[in-house]
Amino acid sequence: MSLHCLRLVRARHTLKTCLGQCRFLFGGTKKFDMKVCIIGAGVIGLSTAQSIYQHFHGRVTPLNIEVYADVFTPLTTSDGAAGLWQPYLYDKGNVQETKWNKETFDYLLSFLSSPDSIQMGIFLQSGYNLCTEPMEDPSFKDAVLGFRQLTKRELDMFPGYSFGWFNTALMIEGKTYLPWLMDWLGQRKVQFYQRKIGSFQELVDSGADVIINCSGVRSGDLQPDPELKPGRGQIIKVDAPWLKHWILTHDSSSGVYNSPYIIPGSCLVTVGGVFQVGNWNLQNSSVDHKRIWEAACKLEPSLQHARKVEDWTGLRPSRSKVRLERETIRSGSHVFEVIHNYGHGGFGLTIHRGCAEEAARLFEQILEQKGLLAHSKSRL
Amino acid sequence: MQRVKVVVVGAGVVGLSTAVRIAEALPYCSVTVIAEKFSPNTTSDGAAGILLPTEFPDIPLDRQQRWFKETFDHLLAIAYSPQAADAGVYLSSGFHIFKDVPCEKKPFWADLVFGFRNMSDKEMKLFPNHKFGQAFTTLKCECLSYLPWLEKRFRAVGGQILQEKVTDLHKLALNYDAIINCSGVGSHFLVKNEEVYPVRGQMLMVNAPWLKNFVRDADGKTYIYPGIRYVNIGGTRQVDDWRMEVDKEDSEGILERCSRLEPSLRVAQVMGEWVGLRPGRANPRVEREYLHVQGRQVPLVHNYGHGGCGITLSWGTALDALNLLRQSLFDKPPQARL
């Protein structure tokens, strides 16, 4: 950007701040350009944009929401994920996450009674969680439908596994859900920009009032975060339409998702079982492919004659816990607000709505502090 | 040594299951299946194939349980083998829902399927017009795949196939040492037995691959059974109705009732329609009599009248038929044919 332009943008920003202060002093209606810039167009970025719009489009005018991302559907991490709603077995004390997961489940479930559910990529599917030893009840037992322990007769079908659960859960397929979200947002005049954002400052310089960082696994490029690491996953998509249940296995010795899983989708079946922390390699590995396939065929012998369609690798944004918080950043004389919403590991689709609503709550706090809301009572 | 010539009439799921069991268990028999229709044109081919028994009034419960368990265990072993896709057999979970709370809350087969339980309140919310429900996991066996699979297995042990309509069992007995009658609703004509009557069922095949769980209304007239390449939705239960043509009003009724249970069906494409005649009878007839032909006593084992439970009871009733045959060959060894 030329120096002249930069000066103009800075001047406009200063003017906006002055106007804001004037309004605070003199009250009156808010005719103020509130620009929210969301970085990331995976399920987290898009659903956060949706929540912001839903809660504030009538209360803050004009409200400009812009989404910036280097990749959009169908090339995001969310697109490759199988789409089974299921959190990790245990939240390790992060009770907020369990709450957000359940909120997402109930939200998605409410769409089942309408034909729209198919346009959103939502449907029910039952399945098995298999363990090599008795385990405590998982965090999601009350959120899902019909949770129960597996009987011995059922476990006999899965040699090597002596304990487990059965329940009916939801599927939420990224490849369908993300286009639906983009459509929903586009109809409401949300703007999309395909470009990689190098820094928060870049957006501030172009007029962003609030930045929402939903950049997933590459958040570290915007702000170093030693807790954020890639959890590399590789899957094989298979044509096996006789499979009507998902099967997840849990082996405490190999770690979460490093154990085979088979998840039928609306079209193909996702076969996986790799979770390599620290591995940034987006290339499909034939070693992983072989390991995944052999383990899956042992688990589900009928797969042996299934047609393999394609391989895919994605990097889960894994972190000890989700980073969902505000940060006020000082840059020279400027102060700007960032809401972080990243680090959802292998449960982004599972938790997205709960987190988006929480991000909207944080956004409301910012609006209140800036005096931009006509009513001080929170609606959230 | 002359082998005992056995003929099985009918090539639906009951006929082929019986033929396979006999051919595999009795190597001293040569077995021929004779039928007018073969897969994909039998009643079995159109059926959804969900393993779900109904209770027959006059057959001891333990025998009915045995019929079902024998079939369930046999198909389960296939579902968990590399042959599952070929044979068209796989696990299917779902909901059995009731508009009114039933008196009999636990059917005789509850412990034979997997994970039988009452549906939770949260699950019942999915079906606002129903008051009670049961959830369980059973098997689905698609005859479009299973019958060819059975036929392969039959031929592998030397079984013979003849395509011919049988109209006279006495004439057939001239050329065979034993007859097994698995002619389904055809028994109405073949055995001159009006105890078997058609129960007409119409069904739609719908493209809805996102549906994974079955839903069945306990009245038997509304069901959604997700299959391999399409979802079977239905149905009708029209007694004494021999019509094989598709009835447009029936189709509309099916779509309407099923869409109420599963709203996403409203946007699903209908790929086809099908009509089949269930071989209705108060109870399945699995028993033996003798035909007197040219001085010989030819055992005639009946295995028909399974209603809507043909696939569900196929392997178990086939075993009873095999045992009846084996016993009769022992009791009255076949004499030379002239």
Report the alpha-carbon distance of residue B223 to residue B257 in Å, rounded. 9
Residue numbers in B near A118 (CB within 8 A): 210, 264, 267
What is the pTM (predicted TM-score) of this model?
0.92
Position B266 scores a pLDDT of: 92
What is residue A108's predicted lDDT score, i.e. its pLDDT?
98
Confidence (pLDDT) at B193: 65
Phi and psi for A183 in degrees, rounded to 5?
-60, -50
B93/A117 Cβ within 8 A: no
Q: Which of A126, A153, A156, A165 should one mutate to test binding to chain B, selecting the residue with the greatest count of B CBs within 10 A?
A: A126
Low-confidence ranges of chain B (pLDDT < 50): none
Give the Cα separation of A51 and A55 in Å (integer).
Answer: 6
Q: Are B264 and A113 an interchain contact pair (Cβ–Cβ within 8 Å)?
A: no
CA nearest to A357, candidates A126, A163, A99: A99
In 3D space, the residue among A176, A215, A228 whose CA is nearest the CA of residue A48 turns out to be: A215
Residues whose CB is less than 8 angstroms from the CB of residue A5 and which lie 6 or more positions away in sequence, other chains included:
none
Q: What is the pLDDT of residue A254?
A: 79
Contacts of residue A7, defined as CB under 8 A and 6 or more positions apart, other chains included, come to none
Give me the pLDDT at residue A379, please: 52
The pLDDT value given to residue B2:
80
8 Å CB contact of B115 and A148: yes
Looking at residue A13, its pLDDT comes to 52
pLDDT value, residue A55:
96
Give the three-state DSSP class for B275.
Answer: strand
**How far off is chain B from A129, nearest CA to CA, in Å?**
14
Q: How many CB pairs under 8 A join A and B?
A: 94
Instruction: Average pLDDT across each block of 10 residues of chain A; the chain has 380 residues. List them in order.
Output: 51 51 43 86 98 94 95 97 96 94 98 92 98 96 97 95 98 98 98 97 94 98 98 98 97 82 98 96 97 97 95 97 96 90 98 98 94 62
Rg for chain A, CA atoms, rounded: 22
pLDDT given at position A26: 39
Q: Tell which of A118, A122, A157, A262 to mutate to test the B interface (max B CBs under 10 Å).
A: A118
- For residues B140 and B90, the answer to whether their CB atoms sit within 8 Å is yes
pLDDT, residue A331, reads 84
Residue B50 gets which letter from DSSP? B
Q: Which H or E element spans position B153?
A: helix B143-156
pLDDT (0 to 100) of residue A27: 41
